[in-house]
């Protein structure tokens, strides 16, 4: 049996719709960025070099966990960090990578997002780290991303953009959107002065409250 048929058509369509939505929200433009979703055979990912706003279900590329294409298509050159996130985090079901304006600005400064606002905790920790720089599409970049994602669900990528994973496609997109908003808020605050940061104790309290919130959702 061709493993590609294990990826239901509605999963392909949902991923394509989320790719288009990332453009609508201003997270991506043109062929920048990529999104993926876990599947029974490995994962589906957006293709290389195509306009994200025009992607359809048929454009989605299926890979196994060895990075081998199942069927046809040329996957995003960034497939390695998608594969490695799925391998490292069993709870990760979707990954969004974006070249959004404020996140790119922060990433080009190679600065972490500190605890200037309690919503930083949405990414799972007391800050959002910026991964070390490595050339796009390389294993070195994936290794840098995995290091920045330790105990986190999102990170910036030096001179590149942002990355977020979630328990489903909407959750991954929502977190990417939140990280972009936080980058914009932090940059604006820095234009006026040095933002006052929440303490580690205050952030840990927020993290606990977020756990309660999710359990009651």
Just list the catalytic residues.
78
Distance (Å, whole) CA 83 – CA 70: 14
Give the 3-state secondary structure of residue 154: strand
Distance (Å, whole) CA 50 – CA 169: 20
How many Cβ atoms from other residues are within 10 Å of residue 58's Cβ?
11
CB-based contact 124:153 (threshold 8 Å): yes
Write the CA distances from 56 to 7, 127, 133, integer angstroms: 15, 36, 31
Dihedral of the CA atoms 89, 168, 153, 148 (nearest 10)? 60
Q: Rg of the chain's alpha carbons, rounded to an integer?
A: 17
Pure H helices in the chain: 9-24, 79-88, 101-109, 139-148, 169-192, 200-216
Closest listed residue to residue 76, CA positions, set 161, 178, 133: 161
Distance (Å, whole) CA 47 – CA 140: 21
């Amino acid at each position: 049996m061709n493993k590609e048929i294990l990826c239901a058509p509605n999963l392909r369509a949902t991923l394509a719709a989320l790719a288009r939505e990332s453009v609508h929200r201003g997270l991506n433009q043109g062929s920048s960025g990529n999104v993926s979703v876990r599947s029974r055979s490995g994962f589906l990912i957006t293709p290389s070099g195509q306009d994200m706003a025009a992607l359809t279900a048929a454009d989605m590329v299926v890979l196994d966990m060895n990075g081998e294409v199942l069927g046809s298509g040329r996957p995003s050159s960034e497939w390695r960090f998608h594969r490695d996130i799925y391998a490292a985090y069993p709870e990760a079901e979707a990954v969004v990578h974006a070249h959004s304006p404020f996140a790119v600005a922060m990433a080009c400064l190679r600065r972490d997002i500190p605890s200037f606002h309690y919503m930083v905790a949405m990414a799972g920790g007391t800050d959002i780290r910026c991964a070390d720089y490595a050339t796009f599409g390389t294993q070195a970049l994936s290794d840098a991303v995995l290091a920045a994602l330790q105990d986190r669900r999102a990170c910036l990528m030096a001179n590149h953009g942002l990355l977020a994973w979630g328990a489903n496609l909407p959750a991954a997109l929502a977190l990417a959107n939140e990280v972009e908003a936080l980058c914009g808020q932090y940059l604006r605050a820095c234009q006026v002065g040095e933002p006052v940061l929440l303490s580690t104790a205050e952030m840990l309290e927020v993290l606990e409250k977020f756990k309660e919130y999710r359990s009651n959702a």
